[in-house]
A and B are shown apart, each in its own frame.
Chain A
């Protein structure tokens, strides 16, 4: 199974980005191979509007079933739900910590967006 984590860095020790739509990158972690790839999200960092929607489409296209981010807004959540991607939010500091919390079953699946759009 593949998991997407919003991040500003390049590896598992990088900080988890508190934003989803305007995160710099998505780290796509494969729980079977324990390997990861990075998907660039630069184009959405400065998007005039619709960053959350576009980011959700990007994440969906990478074939993940789970997304972990600091927060997730309403439009992104709607797109992720349509793509059957489960959303988890956490205050974990790094990608590795967030993945560990998820794999230990310590994260609770979001049933709705946890912030308004344009919150940060």
Chain B
């Protein structure tokens, strides 16, 4: 089963939930850190790097000026404005290119070939029963989805995988959530948490993936998230109590289930609930 942990708002506890869930699984589990712009799950696992980082590239166009007649077919095709044609010459903007290969196909002169441009790396770390796969986007690169897809290529064909999604509701989140079996939306009991939860709910409904909500730091705000879930018929999977000791453990790079045994039951129950919910859908 492939479970994604997502949220509209940043800082609600996606990584915390993902890590603690992975840790309470008794058997081998893969944890995929899809927040490739700032992967941080590794900070809490202290795993051992397995092999060399795998370099991920994006195919970007290169123009053979001896063949190009400046017709502009490539530029009119490109939805991302990565190509501009002026005075019969093609200008390429590699940082805008999504690597779709369309320009190469529409060029009537065969003047475009693709060259690989490095965008980041995928690393594999071992930490006990958890195998962590993480993407790390190179500094200055804005194109996260292709790297996220490279991370997701490491999802095993059998067994369980937990995906730690980036925050928000834009392309990197969609790239992470696609083809998952279940989404856990993590939120906090604040007006901001509720607002961004609604955006995230709209996304997973559009993607037609079964989902439920976890309220993190429950008790620190109000009850509006719970009321919203009731009104919308959304399964409230768990409420993780607000506890300063969790934050203290976090600041030392420790997981709640390691530092505070009473949290083991909460996360085990969450895992079972998710599994039941996903299988029931």
Measured CB to CB, the residues of A under 8 A from B are 47-51, 53-54, 56-57, 60, 75, 78-79, 82-84
Which residues of the partner chain B approach A49 to less than 8 Å between Cβ atoms? 80-81, 96
Q: Is chain B's binding surface mostly helix, strand, loop or mixed?
A: mixed
B91 touches A79 (CB 8 A): yes
Known: A50-B80, A79-B86, A82-B86. 7 other contacts (CB 8 A): A49-B96, A50-B82, A50-B93, A57-B75, A57-B86, A82-B84, A83-B86
A79 to B91, CA, bound (A): 7
21 contacts across the A-B interface (CB closer than 8 A): A48-B80, A49-B96, A50-B80, A50-B82, A50-B93, A53-B84, A53-B93, A53-B96, A57-B84, A57-B85, A57-B86, A78-B91, A78-B93, A79-B84, A79-B86, A79-B91, A82-B87, A82-B89, A83-B86, A83-B87, A84-B87
Indicate with 1 or 0, residue by residue over B81-113, a CB within 8 angstroms of chain A CB atoms.
Answer: 110111101010100100000000000000000
B96 touches A56 (CB 8 A): no
A78 to B91, CA, bound (A): 9
A78 to B86, CA, bound (A): 11
A57 to B93, CA, bound (A): 14
How far is the CB of A37 from the nearest CB of chain B, in Å? 21
A60 touches B81 (CB 8 A): no
Which residues of the partner chain A approach B93 to less than 8 Å between Cβ atoms? 50, 53, 75, 78
Which residues of the partner chain B approach A50 to less than 8 Å between Cβ atoms? 80-82, 93, 96
How far is the CB of B107 from the nearest CB of chain A, in Å? 18
The residue in B75, B89, B93 that gathers the most chain A C-beta atoms within 10 A of its C-beta is: B93
The residue in B81, B89, B96 that gathers the most chain A C-beta atoms within 10 A of its C-beta is: B81
The residue in B80, B82, B84, B85 that gathers the most chain A C-beta atoms within 10 A of its C-beta is: B84
How far is the CB of A67 from the nearest CB of chain B, in Å? 13
Residues of B in contact (CB 8 Å), total 12
B80 touches A56 (CB 8 A): no
Which residues of the partner chain A approach B91 to less than 8 Å between Cβ atoms? 78-79, 82
Measured CB to CB, the residues of B under 8 A from A are 75, 80-82, 84-87, 89, 91, 93, 96
Of chain B, the residue at the smallest CB distance from A78 is: B91
Which residues of the partner chain B approach A54 to less than 8 Å between Cβ atoms? 81
Of chain A, the residue at the smallest CB distance from B82 is: A50
Which residues of the partner chain B approach A47 to less than 8 Å between Cβ atoms? 81
A69 to B75, CA, bound (A): 25
The residue in A48, A50, A54 that gathers the most chain B C-beta atoms within 10 A of its C-beta is: A50
A53 to B82, CA, bound (A): 8
A60 touches B86 (CB 8 A): yes
A56 to B75, CA, bound (A): 13
Which residues of the partner chain B approach A84 to less than 8 Å between Cβ atoms? 87
Of chain A, the residue at the smallest CB distance from B95 is: A75
Which residues of the partner chain A approach B86 to less than 8 Å between Cβ atoms? 57, 60, 79, 82-83
How far is the CB of A83 from the nearest CB of chain B, in Å? 4
Which residues of the partner chain A approach B87 to less than 8 Å between Cβ atoms? 82-84
Which residues of the partner chain A approach B85 to less than 8 Å between Cβ atoms? 57
A38 to B105, CA, bound (A): 35
A82 to B87, CA, bound (A): 7
Of chain A, the residue at the smallest CB distance from B142 is: A49
How far is the CB of B196 from the nearest CB of chain A, in Å? 21
Please provide the 3 A-B residue pairs with the shortest distance between their CB atoms, ordered closest to farther: A50-B81, A83-B86, A82-B86
A51 to B81, CA, bound (A): 8
A53 touches B81 (CB 8 A): yes
Of chain A, the residue at the smallest CB distance from B171 is: A48
How far is the CB of B92 from the nearest CB of chain A, in Å? 10
A75 to B84, CA, bound (A): 10
Of chain B, the residue at the smallest CB distance from A54 is: B81
